Amino acid sequence: MKEYNGYKYVNGGVCAAKGFSANGLNCGLNPVKEKNDLCIIAADVLCNTAAVYTTNKVKGAPITVTKNHLASTGGFSRAVIANSKNANTCNADGIEKAEQMCSLAAAELGIAAEEVIVASTGVIGQILPIEPIKSYIKPLCEGLSYSGNESAATAIMTTDTVKKEVAVEFVIGGKVCRLGGMAKGSGMIHPNMATTLNFITTDVNITTRMLQKALSDITKITYNCLSVDGDTSTNDMVCVLANGLSSIPEISSEGAEYDIFKTALYIVMSEMTRMLAKDGEGATKLIECTCAGAPVQECAITVAKSVIRSPLLKCAVFGEDANWGRILCAVGYAEADFDIDKVDVDIASSAGSIAVCRFGAGVPFSEDEAKRILSEDEIQININLNQGTASATAWGCDLTYDYVKINGDYRS
């Protein structure tokens, strides 16, 4: 079992924490019967809930319904229902259909419809047929299991090639706690406040206010530092449900216990961010850009995100071409205040590291060595502004022929 500074990675995804069950199945939205397209996550008790959403002016109906539900309950929920293949966005009956999904789930679970979070992902602008969901809501809920995380995680996949789940175990006040999540996303990823669909559960006892603070803070340095293609989705959502079943004293303010929880949330969210970047549509390489030596963290974030967003750099990484000028170009147009003449750049991977720029100018390097480093499937671009102590990391992927192929016939 892998460990990270006292945090143990465990199996179970959204079912790793005590008191959470899940299920997923194919209800017919996806014509490929072997692929799940509808899932549910349920908590044994009412959960304090926090969420962040897309800032796209066009928002999917499920976003509106979820925001309204959390507002009406004061930040509590008991379940999540989500579907793939259809985004339920830009439809005249979208709100009605999203509310119906919540009501259907609530009736089967014996809870209030307002206690259900709803999410959809898939094609925009197509009417969501509610009949398949009606037909399969009973077996979906009857099949809820404390080991049903995988069937749920696969149900939200669209062009994803792998399911994305992470969970960790840690100790607060002598009691074992767990936090786990599942995510989907491969394309239309360029977030602002959230990205893709991400659901996280924990048995930590924490107030909604502190849960929201932790989520907003961690989103800023994880999901918001992710870009696959520069398109901010209409349906992006990250939700965290905390049921308190670990029986620790309630975390209601900052302190040691809050820091332990926040680190667990960071581990899970950063791991899923890397998974999302590596599984970008058509991607062959993960790009991880770290900007150090910045005067403030906001500057480091801006520079790192500028680099991983560059289409020209993404193409160069795909071609395994050490065209460092594209890196410096992206650093240069970042909207942040720093001295470009102090900037150093290295390119690295598991095959080694090579300096390509010092003090804002190129330095001699072996093209063969650079090619060898860039031939790996995980590439690090390390930038040092040499103007402070702040740092940040952003994640992206290369831009390949297959990205065009996938998105050229996405509705087919």
Q: Which residues are catalytic?
A: 195
Helix/strand/coil for 78? strand
- The type of residue at 356 is V
Please give the sequence-ordered ranges of beta strands (E in DSSP) within 282-389, or none if there are none: 286-294, 344-349, 352-358, 361-362, 378-384
CA gap 181, 159 in Å, rounded:
19
Q: Which two tokens stand for residue 84?
A: 């793939």
Nearest CA to 293 out of 389, 358, 360 is that of 389
Nearest CA to 406 out of 287, 274, 271, 228 is that of 228
Dihedral sign of CA atoms 114, 116, 117, 123 in order: negative
Measured CA to CA in angstroms, residue 295 lies from 188, 261, 299, 389, 410 at distances of: 31, 28, 7, 6, 42
Measured CA to CA in angstroms, residue 128 lies from 97, 133, 259, 311 at distances of: 7, 10, 42, 34
Question: In this structure, how many other beta carbons lie within 10 angstroms of the beta carbon of residue 254?
Answer: 12
CA gap 298, 393 in Å, rounded:
11
